[in-house]
Structure 1
Amino acid sequence: MAKDFLLEIGTEEIPASYIKPALEAMAAMLSKTLSEQRAAHGSIQTMATPRRLVWLIKDVAEKQEAQTIEITGPPKAAAFDESGNPTQAALGFARAQGVSPDELQVKQTGKGEYVVVSRHQAGISTVDILSGVLADLIQDIPFPKSMRWGSLKVTFARPIHWIVALLGQEVVPCTYGNVTSGNTSYGHRFMSPGPFEVTEIDGYVEALRERFVIVDIEERTERIRQLVAACAKEKNGTIREDEGLLDEVVQLAEYPTAVCGSFDKHYLELPQEVLITAMRSHQRYFAVVDDAGKLMPYFVTVNNTLTRDPQVVAHGNERVIRARLEDARFYYVADQKVSLEDRVEELKEVVFHSKLGTSYEKLERFKALAEHMADQVAPEQKPTVSRAAFLCKADLVTGTVSEFPSLQGVMGRAYARLANEDAAVAEAIYEHYLPTHSGGALPSGTAGALVSMGDKLDTVVGCFGVGQIPTGTADPFALRRQALGIIRIILAKDLSLSLYDLIKQALDGLDGKLTEPKEQTYQAVLDFFKVRLQHFLIGQDQPQDVVDAVLAYHLDPLVETVAKISTLKAFKESETFEPLVGTVKRVVNILKEPVDGDVDPELFVNQAEKDLYQEVVTCEQELEKVLAKRDYGDVLERLSELKGPIDHFFDDVMVLDKDLSLRQNRLALLTRIANLFQQLADFSRLVL
């Protein structure tokens, strides 16, 4: 009979950002453990509050599935004599396995006939399985930082106070540190701090709710949405949408309540982003906006307890935010006393990287890169690109950005506007930081896009050039994100830029800074971009075999590479795909390796090879023109016309002729055919 399994780990308050990854990791480990131990189970539900991590597994088998195992002994020839009697080898094997010689069986294996013993293993109870692994699984839950407490040697994100581990109504014994599992849980720290027994897993969620703990994350999220929306509605406003803040606040309260507060209207003179950041980053307040999306002088806070007098709480929150906003106003006013242009000089005192120099040196490098790109794709934008690149890092030395680092770029744009810089320059200053995450918004303008790519490329190439390459666990300069940002911008803007050229330009700008060999760095960066492009395209639902086939021979320019992939993806759905690819694979399989040397028509002895050669020559001439138009559908259509002549060639011609000169000539012809198809992709990698 299947039973539900409940695991609750009760702790001190765990940081909000730790919770979701921990839940996912433990769920995966529990599922893997049960599967490996042949204990069937149903779905896994994860729940949490700041003080507890919870896993509820439905329909867990009471015991593992029984199995029959075979133990292989000596070969039959060594186990029995000519009369079929067991030898000492067979007798010794039987004795070691605790069976009589009569129970030995002979089984055919890949190595011949061997003596085997079949043994039935009854399944052990799931309680025993879980009891034996829970402590190790708890220890293996990953956290950015773990801690020890008391004199214990075990670690966890925060000290553990209780563990509930139940299979049905039976306690799963487990000890972690000085805490032993049981069926005792606890309610809200302040509103219902006492212990209670979990007598029924089905009633666990409701029992906590009665004790002012909403353990279901989705339920708590929806409760907060409704509470803060109601508060904003009282002020004739709505909550500014902020899923990131909501996700964080959800993990800060076990029983959320909401209170509305206000601030002086004169603070609305500050840039909207400054106000939002001051409320969000430090205080985790939700901003209230009007129907036009403009900030109102109100905010909503989420608390972890029921409040007797909301006004008292609101006044306390108002005092806190008033101090934060006053600081922001002070910095904002002070920053305007020095122009962005004058602040650029201060970047000479800001270290970007110990081996790559100051932020000013970096600015000079990526400014040159951005101007180089502008020359190629938007020469009319070069003055805007140049000015934006020069000013875009100046806000890093302002007081506002020092206090609120997330406002880099935002304040640069604001101060540029106040200084009457061109609107396109101001916007490019902000947009050069985009995208800020893997699926984030891209620069809308060309100038911002080029400055963004220049900045990101200098960082990627520079870090590779000094040996700071991302690992599986560390990417301190977010090089993966930066490379992906470059790829996304090039593709979205349809920029005819050569990645090969840009990497070389970036390397030239880093002369005197590199600690790694230049050619080695160039290839490493190129490979890095190739992997990032591969992951990006597969994530965009491009077939992996098509992506691999095109990237085997093509990477640059990116827009053309992606066009080839899209063409091949569409081709996979056609009736001619399998026949053509099958023919090309036959060409590649016979070649194994490309053959050097020219094709000599004088050595042809068969009409089929003469016809194929003439078709190849014609195709080579026509394909050059079609490729220049970058219409890869036409390229594929022209290549498809080679199928018939190739098939006739294989039907009528012995490629691997005994005459070496004929063989070499025919292989050289096949090499030219392979080269034609390779202008689109490595067709041998396509999956039929």
Structure 2
Amino acid sequence: MAQDVLIEIGLEELPARFIDDAEQQLLDKTISWLNEQRISYDSAVSFSTPRRLAVLVEAIAETQTSIEEEVKGPAVKIAKDDQGNWTKAAEGFTKGQGKTTEDIYVKEIKGTSYIYVKKYIEGKPVQSLLPEFKDIIESITFGKNMRWANETLRYARPIRWLAALYGREVIPFEIAHVHTSNITYGHRFLSGKLTLEEPKQYAQLLKDNYVIADAAERKAKIVEQLHALQEKHAFQIPVDEDLLNEVKNLVEYPTAFVGNFAPSFLELPKEVLITSMAEHQRYFPVERDGELLPEFVGVRNGDDFELETVIKGNEKVLRARLADAEFFYEEDKKLSIDFFQKKLSRVVFQEKLGTYTDKVKRVQKIAGHLAENLQLKEIEEIARAAAICKFDLMTNMVNEFTELQGVMGEKYATYFGETQAVSQAIREHYLPNQSHGSLPATVVGAVLSIADKMDTIAGCIGVGLIPTGSQDPYGLRRQAMGILRILKDQHWNVSVESLMEFTLAVLQDAGLTLQTAAKEELQSFFVSRAEYLMREENIDTDIIHTVAGNQLGIFHFTVEKAHVLSAEKADEQFKTSQEALVRVLNLEDKVEDKNQMVNPSLFQTESEKELHDAVQKIKGTYTDQLEKQNSEEALQLLADLSADIHAFFDHNMVMDDNEEVRKNRLAIIHELSVLILQYADLRKIAWKQHA
């Protein structure tokens, strides 16, 4: 008879940011294990709260599915001797499979005969396999692990209980000296120890004891309560999805409430208030007609018992934090940008890269170079913004509320009399602050953002601080994607390679010692980020390697070429052109002298002359189209050569026995290859085979 299975891991409170991923891992690993073990089941669902991760598998089979498996052995020439008798290799193979040589049969694969046997694998009782859930639990990974007591297991938080049931029976195993049982626990303060009679009662039993184990249901309950408060108080709660997900993972039984703070605190910048509420206290700010109100919405982990006391406690905590912010704000305004600038020289940005003052000087040079190359009219604003872009890091406010770096820079710069362009650029140069976050809206902010990020990336990689696996403490991947997205968004005609080379030169001029392979590492790093971005635009990997394999160049044009080639890859009408251009590139490696010029006097056929003339005819226009970044027009000019290319190959032996003729024909190939490769290396495309 099919039974249900429940596995629950009881823990000390997990960090909210770990929970969703850990729950998904538990579910995915459970399903994978069931499939690998050939165990059928009806459904599998997962649960999570700050204190538990669980999975419920319904109607699990009593036994594994039995299978008959074909097992391949050695080749017949090894399995039989010269007299046709089975060798020890054949006997050993069959014995290892629990068979005899009488069970052998032969099958041929690609012209070679091999021996086989059929092996019947009878399914085991599922109950005997379930203790292997221990391995699933131990294999869950977290962003940060810890060890506790004398345990060797590394986990996000200590395991306090393990509930494991197969029907009404406990599945026996232990982890970190915690043994499985049929015991779980309700809400930490509103309930206690609970006995599970069977897996299916799990969710309802917990709900009866103030634990909503279904994370989606818990989130929906919070949203429902927020809507009810909006209607009751006639205000709006701008719900940030990230904050909502975090709050969902901070409580087991949510109860939303409204608190207040003194209206005088509304004199503080809106961002300070929201940060104090959302980032520090996990409260939702409250608005009416777009204006912030002196109220907030919190979510209690529990019921509404003595809720007024809870509200007063939360109001007291927020009042203290806002009072600190008010003090810092007023104290900072008594000082000056120059005062904060001087303090930057005493703060290390990175041990091998110097202080923040050193960094600012490098950013000024990179920003100035970029502005000059792009011939921007905002030269003065860019120079000033670059010079003071980090001053707010030394303010009391940012020291207390690090999330407000840049935001307070804009506020204080405006207060101290800087122009709007300069003030806004100080905030925008931190953008995008997430991989897909908002980009700078102004030219000054975009230039400064690129300069700052390029200095950080090239500096870190230059001194060997290369991200590995999930470790990227300086956020280099996010910053590289930010640079590429800004370049694409602004349509700036500056190559990624020229930016990298100039930045490395600035670092070296500043006296920093860079690794020998810094340039190659930096190129590889940016290419990997570019590939990631282009994949998100549904560009195939082979197309990405075609346009970005050698260099990224002017990034927005590189992406545009990728889209053009993606369309042509599936176009039947482009097939003839594709074949012609790839035929040319395939011979490029045969060219011995890349500097040899084509000599028309050595032409022996009309097709040689016609191809050479056709190339000369389009060369100027083609170069002009590339400079204008007309990707479709440039590719069409190459495609128009396809008839002449095919005629050339049909009527000429390129690798002629006559050395002069051969080299001259290869010179034609090289001249054309150079043009094609200026667009992309079409050899890397996995061209579709048309019917």
- The two structures have a TM-score, normalised by structure 2, of 0.92
Sort the Cα spacing of 1:622 and 1:414 in 2 relative to 1 into closer, same or farther, 3 A: closer
SS in 2 for 1:9: strand
Q: Identity over aligned residues, as a percent?
A: 38
- Correspondence for 1:560: 557
- Correspondence for 1:289: 287
Provide the rounded CA distance (Å) in 1 between the counterparts of 2:89 and 2:267.
93
- Correspondence for 2:7: 7
- Correspondence for 1:453: 450
- Correspondence for 1:623: 622
5 Å-filtered alignment, 1:585-664, equals: 585-596=582-593, 597-664=596-663
- Correspondence for 1:268: 266
Provide the rounded CA distance (Å) in 1 between the counterparts of 2:536 and 2:20.
22
Sort the Cα spacing of 1:548 and 1:5 in 2 relative to 1 into closer, same or farther, 3 A: farther
Check if 1:350 corresponds to 2:351. Answer: no
5 Å-filtered alignment, 1:325-336, equals: 325-336=322-333
SS in 1 for 2:26: helix
- Correspondence for 1:503: 500
Provide the rounded CA distance (Å) in 2 between the counterparts of 1:389 and 1:93.
73
User: Retained in 2: the 8 A contact 1:185–1:198?
Assistant: no
User: Retained in 2: the 8 A contact 1:70–1:117?
Assistant: yes
User: Retained in 1: the 8 A contact 2:97–2:119?
Assistant: no
- Correspondence for 2:397: 400
Sort the Cα spacing of 1:98 and 1:244 in 2 relative to 1 into closer, same or farther, 3 A: closer
Superposition CA RMSD, Å: 2.6
Provide the rounded CA distance (Å) in 2 between the counterparts of 1:493 and 1:357.
31
- Correspondence for 2:76: 75
1:81 Cα shift? Answer: 5.6
- Correspondence for 1:27: 27
1:300 Cα shift? Answer: 1.2
**Deviations 1:258-305 (Å, cap 9, x if unpaired)?**
1211011111111111111112222211111112x2210111111111
- Correspondence for 1:36: 36
**Deviations 1:390-436 (Å, cap 9, x if unpaired)?**
22211111111111111111111111222232112111111111110
Aligned length: 683
Provide the rounded CA distance (Å) in 2 between the counterparts of 1:488 and 1:253.
37
Sort the Cα spacing of 1:78 and 1:305 in 2 relative to 1 into closer, same or farther, 3 A: closer
SS in 1 for 2:498: helix
User: Retained in 2: the 8 A contact 1:355–1:513?
Assistant: no
- Correspondence for 2:474: 477
Check if 1:143 corresponds to 2:142. Answer: yes
User: Retained in 2: the 8 A contact 1:598–1:668?
Assistant: yes
Sort the Cα spacing of 1:269 and 1:41 in 2 relative to 1 into closer, same or farther, 3 A: same
- Correspondence for 2:360: 363
User: Retained in 2: the 8 A contact 1:467–1:515?
Assistant: no
5 Å-filtered alignment, 1:125-164, equals: 125-132=125-132, 134-164=133-163
- Correspondence for 1:251: 249
Provide the rounded CA distance (Å) in 2 between the counterparts of 1:500 and 1:81.
65
1:333 Cα shift? Answer: 0.7
Provide the rounded CA distance (Å) in 1 between the counterparts of 2:575 and 2:168.
58
Sort the Cα spacing of 1:92 and 1:566 in 2 relative to 1 into closer, same or farther, 3 A: closer
**Deviations 1:173-213 (Å, cap 9, x if unpaired)?**
33212333344333222223231215243x43233222221
Provide the rounded CA distance (Å) in 1 between the counterparts of 2:412 and 2:235.
29
Provide the rounded CA distance (Å) in 1 between the counterparts of 2:583 and 2:654.
12
1:110 Cα shift? Answer: 5.3
- Correspondence for 1:49: 49
Check if 1:312 corresponds to 2:309. Answer: yes
Give the one of 204, 207, 210 matched to 1:206.
204
1:112 Cα shift? Answer: 3.5
SS in 2 for 1:295: strand
Gaps of 5+ in 2: none
User: Retained in 2: the 8 A contact 1:232–1:260?
Assistant: no
Check if 1:422 corresponds to 2:423. Answer: no
**Deviations 1:577-614 (Å, cap 9, x if unpaired)?**
33322232333334444442333333333333332222
SS in 2 for 1:239: coil
User: Retained in 1: the 8 A contact 2:497–2:551?
Assistant: no
Provide the rounded CA distance (Å) in 2 between the counterparts of 1:150 and 1:328.
39
Give the one of 225, 237, 240 matched to 2:238.
240
**Deviations 1:612-658 (Å, cap 9, x if unpaired)?**
22222223233223323321211111111111112222333333334
Provide the rounded CA distance (Å) in 1 between the counterparts of 2:57 and 2:639.
54
The answer to which of 65-74 and 220-229 deviates more is 65-74
Provide the rounded CA distance (Å) in 1 between the counterparts of 2:306 and 2:85.
93
What letter corresponds to residue 10 of structure 2 in structure 1?
G
Provide the rounded CA distance (Å) in 1 between the counterparts of 2:629 and 2:92.
74
SS in 2 for 1:469: coil
Gaps of 5+ in 1: none
Provide the rounded CA distance (Å) in 2 between the counterparts of 1:78 and 1:287.
77
- Correspondence for 2:213: 215
Sort the Cα spacing of 1:77 and 1:248 in 2 relative to 1 into closer, same or farther, 3 A: closer
Provide the rounded CA distance (Å) in 2 between the counterparts of 1:321 and 1:654.
84
1:87 Cα shift? Answer: 6.2
1:441 Cα shift? Answer: 0.6
1:88 Cα shift? Answer: 6.8
5 Å-filtered alignment, 1:537-556, equals: 537-556=534-553
What letter corresponds to residue 678 of structure 2 in structure 1?
Q
Sort the Cα spacing of 1:272 and 1:553 in 2 relative to 1 into closer, same or farther, 3 A: same
Provide the rounded CA distance (Å) in 2 between the counterparts of 1:590 and 1:235.
76
- The two structures have a TM-score, normalised by structure 1, of 0.92
The answer to which of 324-333 and 463-472 deviates more is 463-472
Sort the Cα spacing of 1:593 and 1:554 in 2 relative to 1 into closer, same or farther, 3 A: farther
Provide the rounded CA distance (Å) in 2 between the counterparts of 1:324 and 1:89.
78
